[in-house]
Protein backbone atom coordinates (compact mmCIF):
# COMPACT_ATOMS: atom_id res chain seq x y z
CA UNK A 1 0.00 0.00 0.00
CA UNK A 2 1.37 3.41 -0.88
CA UNK A 3 2.31 5.80 1.91
CA UNK A 4 -0.22 8.66 1.84
CA UNK A 5 1.75 10.78 4.28
CA UNK A 6 3.45 13.63 2.53
CA UNK A 7 7.05 14.63 2.23
CA UNK A 8 7.46 18.31 1.48
CA UNK A 9 10.52 19.37 -0.54
CA UNK A 10 11.62 22.97 -0.04
CA UNK A 11 13.99 24.28 -2.73
CA UNK A 12 16.60 26.91 -1.96
CA UNK A 13 19.02 26.58 -4.91
CA UNK A 14 22.64 25.41 -4.82
CA UNK A 15 24.65 23.29 -7.22
CA UNK A 16 21.99 20.58 -7.08
CA UNK A 17 19.93 23.10 -9.06
CA UNK A 18 22.95 24.30 -11.05
CA UNK A 19 23.37 24.41 -14.80
CA UNK A 20 26.51 24.72 -16.91
CA UNK A 21 26.70 25.81 -20.54
CA UNK A 22 28.63 22.65 -21.38
CA UNK A 23 27.43 19.23 -20.32
CA UNK A 24 30.13 17.59 -18.24
CA UNK A 25 31.55 20.82 -16.78
CA UNK A 26 31.71 20.09 -13.04
CA UNK A 27 32.99 23.46 -11.84
CA UNK A 28 32.16 26.16 -14.41
CA UNK A 29 28.42 26.41 -13.76
CA UNK A 30 25.85 28.68 -12.18
CA UNK A 31 24.19 27.45 -9.01
CA UNK A 32 20.49 27.92 -8.28
CA UNK A 33 19.03 27.79 -11.80
CA UNK A 34 16.62 24.85 -11.91
CA UNK A 35 13.32 24.83 -10.03
CA UNK A 36 12.64 22.28 -7.32
CA UNK A 37 9.73 20.76 -9.33
CA UNK A 38 12.17 19.92 -12.14
CA UNK A 39 14.65 18.42 -9.66
CA UNK A 40 11.93 16.08 -8.38
CA UNK A 41 10.76 15.25 -11.92
CA UNK A 42 14.34 14.21 -12.81
CA UNK A 43 14.15 11.31 -10.33
CA UNK A 44 11.89 8.65 -11.90
CA UNK A 45 11.85 6.61 -8.67
CA UNK A 46 9.95 9.46 -6.98
CA UNK A 47 7.09 9.39 -9.52
CA UNK A 48 3.74 8.66 -7.88
CA UNK A 49 4.96 9.44 -4.34
CA UNK A 50 2.98 11.78 -2.12
CA UNK A 51 5.34 14.75 -2.45
CA UNK A 52 4.82 18.49 -2.45
CA UNK A 53 7.54 20.79 -3.74
CA UNK A 54 7.88 24.47 -2.94
CA UNK A 55 10.51 26.98 -3.99
CA UNK A 56 11.51 29.07 -0.96
CA UNK A 57 14.65 30.66 -2.44
CA UNK A 58 16.91 30.23 -5.46
CA UNK A 59 20.48 31.12 -4.57
CA UNK A 60 24.06 29.99 -4.46
CA UNK A 61 24.45 29.08 -0.80
CA UNK A 62 27.73 30.99 -0.57
CA UNK A 63 25.37 33.97 -0.55
CA UNK A 64 23.07 32.59 2.16
CA UNK A 65 21.80 35.37 4.41
CA UNK A 66 19.83 35.79 7.60
CA UNK A 67 16.65 36.91 5.82
CA UNK A 68 16.57 33.68 3.80
CA UNK A 69 17.24 31.67 6.96
CA UNK A 70 14.30 33.32 8.67
CA UNK A 71 12.01 32.68 5.69
CA UNK A 72 13.14 29.06 5.49
CA UNK A 73 12.65 28.49 9.22
CA UNK A 74 9.12 29.93 9.00
CA UNK A 75 8.22 27.72 6.01
CA UNK A 76 9.70 24.73 7.77
CA UNK A 77 7.82 25.32 11.02
CA UNK A 78 4.57 25.64 9.06
CA UNK A 79 5.13 22.40 7.14
CA UNK A 80 6.19 20.44 10.23
CA UNK A 81 3.01 21.46 12.03
CA UNK A 82 0.82 19.87 9.33
CA UNK A 83 -0.26 16.41 10.59
CA UNK A 84 -0.21 14.95 7.08
CA UNK A 85 3.48 15.87 6.63
CA UNK A 86 5.80 13.02 7.55
CA UNK A 87 9.03 14.91 6.97
CA UNK A 88 10.65 17.74 5.03
CA UNK A 89 13.53 17.68 2.56
CA UNK A 90 15.45 20.89 1.83
CA UNK A 91 17.54 21.17 -1.32
CA UNK A 92 20.47 23.50 -0.66
CA UNK A 93 23.98 24.42 -1.75
CA UNK A 94 26.89 22.60 -0.16
CA UNK A 95 28.92 25.68 0.81
CA UNK A 96 26.83 26.68 3.84
CA UNK A 97 24.85 23.46 4.24
CA UNK A 98 26.26 22.84 7.73
CA UNK A 99 25.35 26.35 8.88
CA UNK A 100 21.74 26.16 7.73
CA UNK A 101 21.40 22.67 9.22
CA UNK A 102 22.71 23.84 12.61
CA UNK A 103 20.58 27.00 12.60
CA UNK A 104 17.38 25.05 11.85
CA UNK A 105 18.13 22.35 14.38
CA UNK A 106 18.76 24.83 17.19
CA UNK A 107 15.52 26.69 16.43
CA UNK A 108 13.20 23.78 15.81
CA UNK A 109 14.86 20.53 17.07
CA UNK A 110 12.04 18.94 15.06
CA UNK A 111 10.24 15.78 16.21
CA UNK A 112 9.95 14.90 12.50
CA UNK A 113 12.86 14.43 10.07
CA UNK A 114 14.22 17.49 8.28
CA UNK A 115 16.69 16.32 5.67
CA UNK A 116 19.00 18.75 3.92
CA UNK A 117 20.47 17.51 0.69
CA UNK A 118 22.72 19.01 -1.96
CA UNK A 119 25.10 18.07 -4.74
CA UNK A 120 28.73 18.68 -5.55
CA UNK A 121 28.08 18.53 -9.29
CA UNK A 122 25.51 20.53 -11.24
CA UNK A 123 22.39 18.90 -12.67
CA UNK A 124 24.00 19.08 -16.14
CA UNK A 125 27.12 17.07 -15.15
CA UNK A 126 27.86 13.77 -16.91
CA UNK A 127 27.57 12.01 -13.58
CA UNK A 128 25.36 14.28 -11.47
CA UNK A 129 25.12 13.30 -7.80
CA UNK A 130 21.97 15.34 -7.08
CA UNK A 131 19.26 12.87 -8.20
CA UNK A 132 20.58 10.02 -6.02
CA UNK A 133 21.02 12.39 -3.07
CA UNK A 134 17.46 13.69 -3.47
CA UNK A 135 16.08 10.15 -3.65
CA UNK A 136 18.05 9.13 -0.54
CA UNK A 137 16.86 12.25 1.28
CA UNK A 138 13.21 11.43 0.60
CA UNK A 139 13.81 7.86 1.77
CA UNK A 140 15.32 9.16 5.02
CA UNK A 141 12.36 11.54 5.48
CA UNK A 142 10.10 8.49 5.20
CA UNK A 143 11.92 6.44 7.85
CA UNK A 144 9.84 5.51 10.89
CA UNK A 145 11.32 7.07 14.01
CA UNK A 146 13.47 9.59 12.15
CA UNK A 147 13.65 13.06 13.73
CA UNK A 148 15.86 16.11 13.92
CA UNK A 149 17.84 17.96 11.26
CA UNK A 150 20.25 15.81 9.28
CA UNK A 151 22.09 16.02 5.97
CA UNK A 152 22.11 13.30 3.33
CA UNK A 153 24.78 13.20 0.64
CA UNK A 154 26.86 10.49 -0.93
CA UNK A 155 24.94 7.78 0.96
CA UNK A 156 25.73 9.20 4.41
CA UNK A 157 23.32 10.62 6.97
CA UNK A 158 25.08 13.18 9.20
CA UNK A 159 23.66 15.08 12.17
CA UNK A 160 23.34 18.87 11.95
CA UNK A 161 25.69 19.31 14.91
CA UNK A 162 28.43 17.17 13.42
CA UNK A 163 28.37 17.80 9.67
CA UNK A 164 31.20 19.75 7.98
CA UNK A 165 32.20 20.29 4.39
CA UNK A 166 35.74 18.95 4.17
CA UNK A 167 36.52 18.84 0.45
CA UNK A 168 36.23 21.56 -2.16
CA UNK A 169 35.09 19.53 -5.17
CA UNK A 170 34.87 15.78 -4.57
CA UNK A 171 31.52 14.05 -4.30
CA UNK A 172 32.55 12.69 -0.87
CA UNK A 173 32.80 16.23 0.49
CA UNK A 174 31.17 15.92 3.91
CA UNK A 175 32.25 14.40 7.21
CA UNK A 176 30.91 14.16 10.73
CA UNK A 177 34.45 14.07 12.13
CA UNK A 178 34.96 12.13 15.34
CA UNK A 179 31.20 11.55 15.72
CA UNK A 180 30.94 9.60 12.48
CA UNK A 181 27.79 9.18 10.42
CA UNK A 182 24.42 8.72 12.06
CA UNK A 183 23.42 6.23 9.38
CA UNK A 184 24.15 5.14 5.85
CA UNK A 185 21.74 4.59 2.98
CA UNK A 186 22.22 1.26 1.31
CA UNK A 187 20.12 0.77 -1.82
CA UNK A 188 17.24 2.75 -0.36
CA UNK A 189 17.49 1.16 3.09
CA UNK A 190 18.74 2.93 6.15
CA UNK A 191 21.36 1.37 8.42
CA UNK A 192 21.22 3.38 11.64
CA UNK A 193 24.30 3.49 13.91
CA UNK A 194 22.98 5.65 16.76
CA UNK A 195 19.99 7.67 17.94
CA UNK A 196 18.43 10.42 15.86
CA UNK A 197 19.37 13.94 16.98
CA UNK A 198 17.30 15.47 19.76
CA UNK A 199 17.54 18.83 21.49
CA UNK A 200 15.66 21.69 23.04
CA UNK A 201 13.95 23.81 20.39
CA UNK A 202 14.42 27.53 20.91
CA UNK A 203 11.34 28.26 18.78
CA UNK A 204 10.83 31.17 16.42
CA UNK A 205 8.57 33.55 18.32
CA UNK A 206 11.38 35.63 19.83
CA UNK A 207 13.39 36.01 16.59
CA UNK A 208 13.26 39.61 15.36
CA UNK A 209 11.54 39.62 11.96
CA UNK A 210 13.81 42.50 10.95
CA UNK A 211 17.14 40.70 10.50
CA UNK A 212 18.97 44.03 10.75
CA UNK A 213 18.23 43.68 14.48
CA UNK A 214 20.05 40.37 14.73
CA UNK A 215 23.34 40.90 16.57
CA UNK A 216 26.46 41.13 14.44
CA UNK A 217 28.81 38.25 15.22
CA UNK A 218 32.00 37.80 13.20
CA UNK A 219 34.59 35.04 12.82
CA UNK A 220 38.33 35.83 12.96
CA UNK A 221 41.22 33.44 12.35
CA UNK A 222 44.35 33.24 14.49
CA UNK A 223 47.55 32.52 12.54
CA UNK A 224 51.28 33.16 12.55
CA UNK A 225 51.77 36.91 12.56
CA UNK A 226 48.18 37.65 13.65
CA UNK A 227 47.52 41.04 15.27
CA UNK A 228 44.74 42.66 17.26
CA UNK A 229 43.93 45.07 14.43
CA UNK A 230 40.86 43.30 13.10
CA UNK A 231 39.46 42.84 16.60
CA UNK A 232 39.85 46.57 17.27
CA UNK A 233 38.23 47.45 13.94
CA UNK A 234 35.24 45.23 14.71
CA UNK A 235 34.82 46.66 18.20
CA UNK A 236 34.92 50.17 16.72
CA UNK A 237 32.14 49.10 14.34
CA UNK A 238 29.96 47.93 17.23
CA UNK A 239 30.25 44.15 16.80
CA UNK A 240 28.35 42.21 19.50
CA UNK A 241 30.22 38.92 19.31
CA UNK A 242 33.48 37.52 17.96
CA UNK A 243 34.32 33.86 17.38
CA UNK A 244 38.02 33.26 17.03
CA UNK A 245 39.09 30.23 15.01
CA UNK A 246 42.13 29.47 17.10
CA UNK A 247 45.13 27.30 16.40
CA UNK A 248 45.12 23.74 17.74
CA UNK A 249 43.17 23.45 20.97
CA UNK A 250 41.66 26.94 20.62
CA UNK A 251 44.89 28.83 21.30
CA UNK A 252 45.20 32.39 20.02
CA UNK A 253 48.22 34.52 19.00
CA UNK A 254 49.14 36.65 22.02
CA UNK A 255 48.53 39.97 20.22
CA UNK A 256 45.09 38.91 19.05
CA UNK A 257 44.37 37.33 22.45
CA UNK A 258 45.13 40.62 24.22
CA UNK A 259 42.80 42.51 21.85
CA UNK A 260 40.05 39.91 22.39
CA UNK A 261 40.35 40.27 26.16
CA UNK A 262 40.04 44.04 25.81
CA UNK A 263 36.97 43.48 23.61
CA UNK A 264 35.49 41.24 26.29
CA UNK A 265 36.01 43.92 28.92
CA UNK A 266 34.20 46.33 26.60
CA UNK A 267 31.16 44.00 26.58
CA UNK A 268 31.72 41.99 23.38
CA UNK A 269 31.02 38.24 23.77
CA UNK A 270 33.99 36.18 22.61
CA UNK A 271 34.13 32.43 21.93
CA UNK A 272 37.26 30.50 21.04
CA UNK A 273 36.97 27.58 18.67
CA UNK A 274 39.56 25.68 16.66
CA UNK A 275 40.57 26.01 13.04
CA UNK A 276 41.41 22.26 13.11
CA UNK A 277 39.03 20.15 11.06
CA UNK A 278 38.61 17.57 13.82
CA UNK A 279 38.45 17.62 17.61
CA UNK A 280 36.89 19.92 20.19
CA UNK A 281 38.39 22.74 22.26
CA UNK A 282 39.13 20.99 25.53
CA UNK A 283 39.83 22.60 28.91
CA UNK A 284 39.54 26.14 30.25
CA UNK A 285 41.18 29.27 28.94
CA UNK A 286 40.95 33.03 29.32
CA UNK A 287 38.23 33.13 26.67
CA UNK A 288 35.01 31.06 26.71
CA UNK A 289 35.20 27.82 24.72
CA UNK A 290 32.98 26.85 21.78
CA UNK A 291 33.51 23.20 22.72
CA UNK A 292 33.05 20.93 19.71
CA UNK A 293 31.44 23.58 17.52
CA UNK A 294 33.49 24.66 14.51
CA UNK A 295 33.85 28.43 14.01
CA UNK A 296 30.88 28.91 11.66
CA UNK A 297 28.48 27.02 13.94
CA UNK A 298 29.88 28.78 17.02
CA UNK A 299 29.02 32.05 15.26
CA UNK A 300 25.38 30.95 14.92
CA UNK A 301 25.31 29.73 18.52
CA UNK A 302 26.64 33.03 19.82
CA UNK A 303 24.21 35.01 17.67
CA UNK A 304 21.29 32.96 19.02
CA UNK A 305 22.53 33.31 22.60
CA UNK A 306 22.74 37.07 22.18
CA UNK A 307 19.13 37.12 20.94
CA UNK A 308 17.43 34.39 23.00
CA UNK A 309 18.25 34.32 26.70
CA UNK A 310 17.06 30.69 26.89
CA UNK A 311 19.80 29.67 24.42
CA UNK A 312 22.66 30.40 26.81
Q: How far is the CB of 122 from ligand ASP (least distance, A)?
A: 8
* Residue 62 binding ligand ASP, by CB under 6 A: yes
* Residue 91 binding ligand ASP, by CB under 6 A: no
Of 60 and 301, nearer to ligand ASP (C-beta) is 60
* Residue 57 binding ligand ASP, by CB under 6 A: no
* Residue 298 binding ligand ASP, by CB under 6 A: no
Residue nearest ligand ASP, Cβ-based: 93
Contacts of 198 (CB under 8 A, 6+ apart): 109, 147, 148
Q: How far is the CB of 195 from ligand ASP (least distance, A)?
A: 29
Of 117 and 273, nearer to ligand ASP (C-beta) is 117
Has 15 been annotated as catalytic?
yes
Q: How far is the CB of 136 from ligand ASP (least distance, A)?
A: 16
Q: Please pick, from the candidates 76, 90, 118, 300, the single residue that binds ligand ASP as defined by CB under 6 A.
A: 118
Q: How far is the CB of 297 from ligand ASP (least distance, A)?
A: 16
| Separation of CA 66 from chain center | 13
Residues carrying an active site annotation: 15
The footprint of ligand ASP (CB under 6 A) covers 14-15, 31, 60-62, 93-95, 118, 120
Amino acid sequence: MQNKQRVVILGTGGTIAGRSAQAGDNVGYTAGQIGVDALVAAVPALAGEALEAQQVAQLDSKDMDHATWLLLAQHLAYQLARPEVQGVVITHGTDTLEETAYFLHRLLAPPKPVVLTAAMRPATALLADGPQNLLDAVRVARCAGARGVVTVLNGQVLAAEDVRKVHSYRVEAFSAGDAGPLAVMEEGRLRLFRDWPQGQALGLAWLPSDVARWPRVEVLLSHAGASGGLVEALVAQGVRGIVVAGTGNGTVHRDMQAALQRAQLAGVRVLRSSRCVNGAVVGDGLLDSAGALPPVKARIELMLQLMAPSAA
